[in-house]
Amino acid sequence: MEPFEKVYLYQRIVRAKLFIDQHFAEAIDLDNIADQAHFSKFHFIRLFKSIYGRTPNNYLIKVRIEKAKNLLTEGNSITDTSLSVGFDSPTSFAGLFKKVTGQTPSAFRKAQVERSTAIMANPLGFIPNCLTVTPPEQPELEITLFLVAEGGMFDTETVASMTALIKKGTFGAAVFTCNDLMATYEEYKAKGVVFKKVPTRSFMVMKHCL
């Protein structure tokens, strides 16, 4: 196959993918999607999966579920959410949502509300690589160890901005930066700072140890 033919085929598959992105809330099916690429369904499924790593139907499900997560997080009802992402009934939506995420829509929404409340109460506790310690002789003082480094969720600009805010005392007088969180933990432990447990990672959060 000539290079220009490959490009042409790729463009047709991308057109179908974009159709899913733009029309996921409508009653579309494999026939509608394949028509966008002008392929037979069998050939289309094979090509689509070779490019995106999943079948067109599974990609459609992914888009719908991700959008549903956003709507539920914003506080929308399960019924409104299901209709907004292309499902005919809340029951079928709830079943698929649980199959994909492992949670019912109501449980997911409740968890997001609890998470938002927790973030509001303790925003630093939800910053990756953030560790709070309390010296035993000063129980009222909290010292936050916060690793700001490129990689993961932080780009160069974000690192610079966060570092500047910390140095200005935006997060409080007892907040400072360190280059190696675990090394700093060991250093403070050796100096007599008491920790209840060793720092551990858990879903984008370095749990604090008081």
Report the CATH fold assignment for 3-115: Arc Repressor Mutant, subunit A (1.10.10)
Predicted local distance difference test score (pLDDT) of residue 198: 65
Q: What is the pTM of this model?
A: 0.60
What backbone phi and psi angles, to 5 degrees, belong to 145? -95, 120
* Per-residue pLDDT tens digits for 146-194: 565 655 556 676 667 766 776 666 665 555 556 666 777 788 778 777 6
Reported confidence tier of residue 109, pLDDT bands at 50, 70, 90? very high
Is the Cβ–Cβ distance between 172 and 178 less than 8 Å? no
Domain chopping of the chain, boundaries? 3-115, 122-206
Reported confidence tier of residue 208, pLDDT bands at 50, 70, 90? very low
* Per-residue pLDDT tens digits for 8-60: 888 899 999 999 999 999 999 999 999 888 888 888 999 999 999 999 999 99
